[in-house]
Amino acid sequence: MTSPNPFPAGATLADVGEFGLIGELTKRFEQGPHVYVGPGDDAAVIRTPKGHVVVSTDLLVENRHFRRDWASALEIGHKAAAQNLSDINAMGGTATSLTVGLGAPPDLPVQWALDLADGIAAEAALVGASVVGGDLTRANEVVIAITVLGECEIAPVLRSGASAGEVVAIAGRQGWAAAGLAVLGRGFRSPRVLVEAFKQPEPPYAAGLLAAHGGATAMIDVSDGLLADVGHIASDSGVAIDITTSSFELDDPLRAVGAALGVDPLEFVLGGGEDHAIVATFPADAVLPDGFRTIGVVAAGEGVTVDGTTYDGPTGHAHF
pLDDT (tens digit per residue) in 214-244: 999 999 999 999 999 999 999 999 999 999 9
Average pLDDT over all residues of the chain: 93
Given a cut of 80, is residue 93 above it in pLDDT? yes
Single pTM value for the model: 0.88
So what's the pLDDT on residue 14?
86
Q: Which CATH number fits domain 15-151: 3.30.1330.10, 3.20.20.70, 3.30.530.20, 3.10.580.10?
A: 3.30.1330.10
Based on C-alpha coordinates, what's the Rg of the chain?
A: 20
So what's the pLDDT on residue 320?
63
d(CA 170, CA 3): 40
Topology of domain 167-306 in CATH is Phosphoribosyl-aminoimidazole Synthetase; Chain A, domain 2 (3.90.650)
Average pLDDT of span 27-44: 78
Burial of 113 (0-12, 13-18, 19+ CB in 10 A): middle
Pairing relation of β-strands 94-104 and 51-61?
unpaired
The domain limits of the chain are: 15-151, 167-306
Cβ pair 113, 137 in contact under 8 A: no
So what's the pLDDT on residue 1?
61
Average pLDDT of span 18-33: 79
